[in-house]
Chain A
């Protein structure tokens, strides 16, 4: 893990690196168990992964790029689903810092992530906003 990069040092456009993911049936079953998916309500589970799988990888990309393991709390999420995630696919997620701002004394990072399959097809477009840094009482930033 990298040494922490402070909020002021983060540059707009900074890449978040590449995260490669093999979409296995085991990964699908693991996610469905952890996220309480009712299997009877996901008829495509032998063929496709449920929407929402691998979303947590976005914050892992952020941490891999910026270092540290501080209080990262999601503030907003925006996802556009374009193609189903096929079991057996090899996904590649790439992202970059799109914006940063301070609101009511709290620091926020906005980052965009594209998820593509092994053929380069765009699967999901995502834009996430995360609170960045320490959290004080009631969620108020300490710094």
Chain B
């Protein structure tokens, strides 16, 4: 289902599931992405980077808004709840909270979040918006 200007406030956009994966990089610069180091620091393991958690959220938004997202999308998120490690099942969700007329279209506002079903915690929360025609 794609976004359109007639969507109603309160509509839940299609959710998006991922099994979290923390890729390794040869030029890794952040020590918290080392498994042993992260555990020594009190985390469950090598944290999946915030950029990837955001990426999972962006995939959900792209699926709903399509190419409009790349020209008219905006997002602001906080990373919370201890994040995710390899193998955690992550579920992305979003709900339309507001609509505003804007230029030649309508801007849809959403609350977005990621649930880590392995820990039962929200690990990303925020707000997004995108103009649709």
Contact = CB atoms under 8 A, between A and B. Distances in A.
Interface in B16-68: 18-19, 21, 23, 27, 29-32, 41-43, 47, 49-52, 54-56, 58-59, 61-63, 66-67
Given A79-B74, A84-B71, A137-B41, A35 B55 contact: yes
- B interface SS class: mixed
A51 B51 contact: no
B59 A41 contact: yes
Interface in A20-52: 34-38, 41-44, 48, 50-52
Interface residues of B, number: 39
A56 B62 contact: no
Q: Chain A contact residues (Cβ within 8 angstroms of B): what range?
A: 35 or more
14 contacts: A34-B23, A36-B59, A44-B70, A51-B69, A55-B51, A63-B30, A71-B30, A71-B41, A76-B79, A77-B50, A77-B75, A78-B75, A79-B75, A81-B71
